[in-house]
């Protein structure tokens, strides 16, 4: 087969390889004890299956060509010679297969038998890795049969008339798959205090593979999961674990065919344990994500300094061929990256998010000695959530809820629905409620600057940004003066999503406050936090019913009244925020992957299309609530992503550079200039917009 991926070919937008993903497999065959020829045939069958499935690398269990439970048979020449012949047979078969194959066998080298992993591809053995740590305790007696990697005398081994690199110091560079470099370790190596894969990762391996024959005892599977998760997380890598099972001798032990694939601490796939049938466990690993995480992790780079154990690795190139057809992603991309899909985990995260926000506000009140807070309550999502945070904070401090000075400030565009919801919520929560009609003050301001509205003109062209911002400014001015009068702290309500999109007015309540509890909480999470409060009914039936009404209300700035020709006031807001800046559920998706990982826009668009493009793309969508099963075409995603890029990288950074204090809530990050996001206020979106237009059809 021709080696190498033809990058001059037309890019296939729907191919997972084009967007930094690669499919890996843990192949779990049924072995025959001391029958390498039959084991090779079974390995070839699984390898062909992996080839048809678009797999880049397939990992087999420890000593899978011979069987692990041979004991003294490992010193039988017939077994060793047959194992070597089986390896060469597998290598010959690999000429017609795309995946890199990593298989285990006993191999005699330099007058000793080594427990090794052979890396096979393209008709040859590309390299051989010996096991570093040989267990010799409890049920293990490997030092009786094998020599450890540290005792090897050769850097190469002769196989089938050729030579292959030999040693534990090998990294395999799977070109031209971007970022796919793997390191091999064997079973006990992972159990050691310092796994060899740690050095492999620090030397540049993004994928760590383990050929294992760990026997099973009660509770051991949980420990394997813990080890794989921990090693992949610490190493910022994928970890592929292939464990022995069916066919191994049960003289004194049992085996469970345990396969695991982890990525940066997250489990992607797990095999059916104790299966008597061959299995191929696959997962699509995100190499680009791992690369971006390592770019940001300064401690990872420090650990990989030249004088560390990461130095001195030999790199072995292994070129794979591009599949003839595009390989579709099978990995579920969460639609709501800020909100866990699992209901139990979601409830836990909601509770933690509230606790973080409340803890931040409690500390600010204690530090300032202030016992009252002032908050504008609009009847919308953000202010309602912030109000609940305030209630929990004063409860925790042992202060009366009357110390929360809630104020609704109706303006020209305030709808009866949000107005009534604001009053009902304040009453249900037992806070001090007041009302200030800002229309007279706004009219005086509009008159003083000779705005067309003050001359009696009406219509869409009159309801401009000045008309809107005068109202926003009046609200903020009243809240700050109320705080002065009552020695209170003004609580900001603006959220992360609006800050990202520049959907806030500089110097007013959604951008400026004494303390901003929502500044790192995206809109989609606020929606789920309020739904969580509705389900808990912590504050009673009236509060829960009101909060449900708030969640169900159109998101709106409520600054513009219905213009002539529009439907008469039906109690609903006349403006729609999402009609201007895009659906928050989609824009939060874009925000997460652009700010958290720095992905190029075309990759973000592709990921969004995987998540939102087709409700039938994966059965996993069937577990989602009906209102979360919407679809967006690639054209819609591209349209709204461009809106996001222009607003985020364009002229709104100066607003974020002047943010008030507020707690960082989630690992998705914040946009505080003192925290996760530092950017010039005078930048532009051209490079991102051009990349999107050039690479997304």
User: Known catalytic residues?
Assistant: 62, 131, 187
Cβ contact 343:377 at 8 Å: no
The structure tokens listed for 632 are 């967006």
Q: What angle do CA 334, 336, 340 make, to 5 degrees?
A: 80
Distance of alpha carbon 301 from alpha carbon 320, whole angstroms: 29
CB contact burial 494-530 (16+ within 10 A = b; e otherwise): bbbbbbbbbbbbeebbbbbbbbbbbbbbbbbbbbbbb
Burial class (CB in 10 A: 0-12, 13-18, 19+), 203: buried
Q: Helices 439-448 and 465-486, interaxial angle, to 10°?
A: 120
The structure tokens listed for 2 are 């021709």
Closest CA to 168 of 205, 124, 116: 116
Closest CA to 692 of 638, 630, 611: 638
Distance of alpha carbon 250 from alpha carbon 215, whole angstroms: 10
Closest CA to 362 of 481, 529, 491: 491
Alpha helices in 505-631 (DSSP H): 523-536, 541-551, 577-581, 584-596, 601-612
Closest CA to 187 of 103, 127, 131, 110: 131
Distance of alpha carbon 80 from alpha carbon 93, whole angstroms: 20
Q: Kind and range of the H or E element at 82?
A: helix 77-93
Cβ contact 54:323 at 8 Å: yes
Phi-psi map region of 333: left, alpha, beta (phi>0 left; psi -120 to 50 alpha): beta
* DSSP helix/strand/coil, 327: coil
The string of DSSP codes covering 369-383 is: T--EEEEE--SSHHH
Place of tokens 């009552």: 486
Distance of alpha carbon 5 from alpha carbon 163, whole angstroms: 25
Cβ contact 138:214 at 8 Å: no
Q: Kind and range of the H or E element at 428?
A: helix 416-429
Distance of alpha carbon 158 from alpha carbon 87, whole angstroms: 12
Q: Kind and range of the H or E element at 26?
A: strand 21-28
Distance of alpha carbon 273 from alpha carbon 257, whole angstroms: 5
Report the sign of the C-alpha dihedral through residues 630, 633, 634, 635, in that order: negative
The string of DSSP codes covering 589-606 is: HHHHHHHHS---HHHHHH
| HSE of 649, CA atoms in CB hemisphere, 13 A | 19
Phi-psi map region of 524: left, alpha, beta (phi>0 left; psi -120 to 50 alpha): alpha
């Amino acid at each position: 087969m021709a080696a190498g991926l033809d990058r001059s070919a037309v890019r296939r937008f729907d191919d997972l390889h084009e967007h930094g993903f690669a499919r890996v497999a843990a192949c779990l065959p049924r072995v025959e004890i001391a029958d390498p020829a039959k084991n090779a045939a079974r390995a070839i069958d699984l390898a062909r299956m992996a080839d048809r499935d678009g797999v880049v690398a397939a990992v087999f269990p420890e000593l899978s060509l011979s069987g692990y439970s041979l004991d003294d048979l490992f010193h039988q020449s017939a077994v060793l010679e047959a194992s070597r012949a089986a390896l060469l047979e597998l290598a010959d078969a690999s000429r017609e297969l795309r995946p890199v194959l990593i298989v285990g066998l006993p191999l005699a080298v330099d007058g000793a038998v080594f427990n090794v992993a052979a890396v096979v591809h393209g008709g040859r053995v590309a390299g051989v890795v010996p096991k570093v740590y040989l267990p010799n305790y409890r049920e293990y007696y490997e030092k009786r049969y094998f020599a450890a990697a540290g005792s090897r005398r050769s850097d190469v081994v002769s196989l089938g008339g050729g030579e292959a690199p030999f040693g534990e110091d090998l990294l395999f560079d799977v070109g031209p798959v971007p970022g796919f470099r793997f390191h091999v370790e064997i079973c006990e190596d992972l159990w050691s205090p310092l796994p060899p894969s740690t050095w492999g990762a620090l030397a540049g391996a993004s994928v760590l593979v383990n050929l294992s024959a760990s026997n099973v005892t009660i509770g051991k599977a949980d420990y394997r999961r813990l080890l794989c998760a921990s090693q992949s997380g610490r190493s910022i890598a994928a970890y592929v674990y292939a464990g022995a099972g069916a066919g191994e001798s049960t003289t004194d032990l049992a085996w469970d065919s345990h396969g695991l694939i982890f990525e940066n601490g997250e489990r992607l796939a797990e095999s059916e344990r104790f299966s008597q049938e061959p299995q191929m466990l696959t997962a699509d690993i995100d190499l680009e994500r791992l690369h971006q995480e390592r770019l940001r992790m300064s401690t990872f780079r420090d650990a990989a300094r030249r004088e560390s154990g990461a130095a001195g690795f030999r790199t072995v190139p292994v070129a794979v061929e591009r599949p003839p057809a595009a390989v579709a992603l099978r990995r579920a991309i969460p639609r709501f990256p800020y909100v866990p899909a699992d209901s139990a985990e979601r409830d836990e995260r909601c509770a933690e998010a509230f606790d973080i926000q409340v803890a931040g506000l409690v500390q600010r009140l204690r530090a300032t000695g202030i016992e009252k807070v002032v908050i504008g309550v609009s009847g919308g999502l953000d202010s309602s959530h912030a109000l609940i945070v305030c209630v929990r904070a004063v409860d925790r401090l042992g202060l009366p809820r009357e110390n929360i000075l809630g104020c609704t400030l109706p303006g020209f565009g305030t709808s009866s629905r949000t107005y009534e919801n604001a009053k009902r919520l304040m009453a249900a929560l037992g806070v001090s409620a007041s009302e200030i009609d800002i229309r007279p003050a706004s009219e005086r301001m509009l008159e003083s600057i000779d705005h067309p509205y003050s001359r009696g003109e009406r219509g869409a062209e009159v309801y401009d940004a000045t008309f809107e911002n005068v109202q926003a400014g009046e609200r903020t001015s009243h809240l700050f003066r109320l705080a002065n009068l009552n020695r209170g702290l003004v609580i900001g309500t603006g959220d992360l999503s609006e800050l990202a999109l520049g959907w806030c007015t500089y110097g007013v309540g959604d951008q400026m406050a004494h303390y901003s509890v929502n500044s790192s909480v995206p809109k989609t999470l606020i929606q789920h936090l309020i739904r969580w409060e509705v389900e808990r009914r912590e504050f009673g039936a009236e509060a829960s019913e009101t909060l449900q009404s708030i969640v169900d209300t159109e998101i709106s700035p409520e600054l513009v009244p219905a213009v002539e020709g529009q439907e008469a006031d039906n109690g609903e807001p006349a403006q729609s925020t999402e009609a201007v800046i895009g659906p928050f559920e989609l824009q939060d998706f874009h925000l997460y992957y652009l700010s958290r990982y720095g992905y190029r826009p075309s990759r973000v668009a592709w990921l969004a299309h995987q998540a939102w493009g087709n409700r039938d793309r994966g059965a996993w969508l069937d577990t989602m609530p009906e209102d979360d099963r919407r679809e967006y075409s690639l054209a819609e995603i591209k349209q709204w992503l461009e809106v996001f890029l222009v607003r985020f990288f364009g002229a709104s950074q100066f607003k974020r550079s002047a943010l008030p204090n507020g707690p960082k809530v989630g690992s998705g990050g914040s946009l505080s200039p003192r925290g996760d996001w530092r950017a010039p206020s005078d930048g532009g979106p051209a490079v991102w917009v051009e990349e999107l237009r050039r690479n997304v059809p």
